Amino acid sequence: MKPIYMDHHATTPLDPRVLEIMLPYLQEHFGNPSSSTHIYGEIAKKAVEAAREQVVQLLNAQNPAEIIFTSCATESNNMVLKGAVALSKVENPEIITIATEHKAILDTLKRLNRQGVVTRLAKIDKYGIVDLDSIKEMINDRTILITIQAANSEIGTLQPLRSIGQIAKEHNIPFHTDAVQALGKIKVDVEKDHIDFLSISAHKMYGPKGVGALYLRKGHRIAPLLDGGGQERGVRSGTLNVPGIIGLGKAAEIAGSDLTGEADRVRQLRDMLINGVLERIDQTTLNGHPTLRLPNNANLSFSYIEGESLILACKAFAVSTGSACSSETLKSSYVLKAIGVPDSLAHSSIRFGLGKSNTKEDITLLLDTLEKNVKRLRDMSPLYEMAQQGIDVDKFEWGEHKH
């Protein structure tokens, strides 16, 4: 039997309703939307435009032309940052962001730094929430963009989008948000939140892999990242991924409707999990904000136990230690580090990403499993032993790092 999936921040299963609507476009309706001389192209084009409308609805955008289909949120993020810099006439332009952004923001900024772009990291608190005054203080003549995510993929922290958007608007600076983890979980409204650019990845909201979108408010321009056939009004060339786009559209529609019932259901499971762990297992902590967090995220530290060994013990569950993209390396999470979690505790953290398939029974079983195995592994842990003896493992003089 496969483990119970609780890694919905890494990716989500395709909603069967999404697959169903995609299938004809993987079969008889295979046309290229740019083929304007025959019905195959026409059918594809119509379907793509319908999907665009569904994304418009989810975001409360004003105009289908504001939606650009891409291959993933990584592309959307790269497009916005690189595309804004490419058109900027400012010397050493500055971009305001925070240290807990996804790598698709941070590593893109790193590359831009080599071209003279300056990254300004606004302050965040111990929950990872951005300090609004810090943003205001950083704004100057050279600020060309504020990019702050809607929700963090590791610790689930939600950012005050509307307040950030308000600041950006007042200072006439474009505001981008990476909303990958937020869509379908919390309402994101590009009008009310004053968002100018927004990144989407379908596979994080029960849509297909290989397709994303960029919301690009009318009147704002960026240079394209992919040049070529001139699709998507020249902003993103390349044959449109028709089945993917149709899947994204349907997933967007479903995400919008999930905001009422499903988000609450999952929030209850999350609270059951968080409260269960904190009450039943001592020396555990919640990372991220207690309430201003994704309804499906619980990031918990189990002191004195290394995360992977606990994951191995909970083999009836599919969970991860952090973002899928960084779990191949041995480094501990830069997100936990950025909110001040000590390295030792960062190694003791597990991210639970709940989703539609999870039930109350799953949480009950998970809590039992955790309780039993935390005990087992602590009995095996020299750190736990030291702690029992009153030694502070974080202050202890350890030998030099070996690797």
Ligand X SMILES: Cc1ncc(COP(=O)(O)O)c(C=O)c1O
- 115 versus 239: smaller Cβ distance to another protein: 239
Among residues 39, 325, 380, 391, which is the contact residue for ligand X, using CB under 6 A? 325
Decide: residue 234, CB within 10 A, 0-12 exposed, 13-18 middle, 19+ buried: exposed
**Start-to-end C-alpha separation, the chain:** 37
DSSP H/E element including 146: strand 143-147
2 dihedral zone (left: phi>0; alpha: psi -120 to 50; beta): beta
Residues 6 or more apart in contact with residue 360 via CB below 8 angstroms? 269, 272
Part of the chain binding a copy of itself (CB under 8 A), chosen from 120-128, 273-281, 313-321, 375-383: 313-321
352, 273 contact by CB (below 8 A): yes
Sheet strands (E) in 303-344: 317-318
Our finding on whether 73 is near ligand X (CB under 6 A) is yes
Three-state secondary structure call for residue 230 = coil
97, 146 contact by CB (below 8 A): yes
For another protein, the binding residues in 337-366 under the rule CB under 8 A are 342-344, 347
Part of the chain binding another protein (CB under 8 A), chosen from 4-12, 39-47, 82-90, 264-272: 39-47
Tokens 């089945």, residue? 243
One-letter amino acid at 196 equals D
- 240 versus 300: smaller Cβ distance to a copy of itself: 240
Least Å from the CB of residue 303 to another protein: 10
- Report the candidate in 321, 303, 298, 293 with the shortest Cα–Cα distance to residue 377: 303
Output Rg (C-alpha) for the chain, integer angstroms. Answer: 22
DSSP state, 157? B
Part of the chain binding a copy of itself (CB under 8 A), chosen from 157-165, 181-189, 312-320, 365-373: 312-320
Among residues 17, 50, 65, 107, which is the contact residue for a copy of itself, using CB under 8 A? 107
- Give catalytic status of residue 72 as yes or no: no
Three-state secondary structure call for residue 333 = coil
**Six token digits for residue 389:** 């003896």
Q: How far does CA 157 lie from the centroid of its chain?
A: 10
In whole angstroms, what is the distance from residue 295 CA to residue 383 CA? 33
Our finding on whether 394 is near another protein (CB under 8 A) is yes
Among residues 58, 319, 341, 393, which is the contact residue for a copy of itself, using CB under 8 A? 319
For ligand X, the binding residues in 159-178 under the rule CB under 6 A are 178
Least Å from the CB of residue 290 to a copy of itself: 26
In whole angstroms, what is the distance from residue 245 CA to residue 74 CA? 16
Least Å from the CB of residue 403 to another protein: 5
Our finding on whether 97 is near another protein (CB under 8 A) is no
In whole angstroms, what is the distance from residue 387 CA to residue 212 CA? 47
Part of the chain binding another protein (CB under 8 A), chosen from 51-59, 95-103, 111-119, 377-385: 377-385
Among residues 77, 100, 159, 358, which is the contact residue for a copy of itself, using CB under 8 A? 77
Helix (H) and strand (E) counts for the chain? 13, 12
Among residues 47, 51, 68, 102, which is the contact residue for a copy of itself, using CB under 8 A? 102
- 60 versus 344: smaller Cβ distance to another protein: 344
For a copy of itself, the binding residues in 214-273 under the rule CB under 8 A are 223-231, 237-244
Least Å from the CB of residue 38 to ligand X: 16
- 38 versus 218: smaller Cβ distance to another protein: 38
Among residues 177, 181, 323, 373, which is the contact residue for a copy of itself, using CB under 8 A? 323
201, 73 contact by CB (below 8 A): yes
Our finding on whether 392 is near another protein (CB under 8 A) is no
Our finding on whether 153 is near ligand X (CB under 6 A) is yes
Among residues 57, 63, 115, 239, which is the contact residue for ligand X, using CB under 6 A? 239
- 231 versus 301: smaller Cβ distance to ligand X: 231
In whole angstroms, what is the distance from residue 100 CA to residue 130 CA? 10
Tokens 């689930």, residue? 156
Catalytic residue among 39, 325, 380, 391: 325
DSSP H/E element including 213: strand 212-216
With CB under 8 A, what is the number of residues at the site for a copy of itself?
A: 76
Point out which residues bind ligand X (CB under 6 A): 72-74, 102, 104, 149, 153, 178, 180-181, 201, 203, 229, 238-239, 323, 325
**Which residues have a catalytic role annotated?**
325
Point out which residues bind another protein (CB under 8 A): 36-39, 41-42, 45, 304-306, 308-309, 311-312, 327-330, 332, 342-344, 347, 379-385, 393-394, 398-403
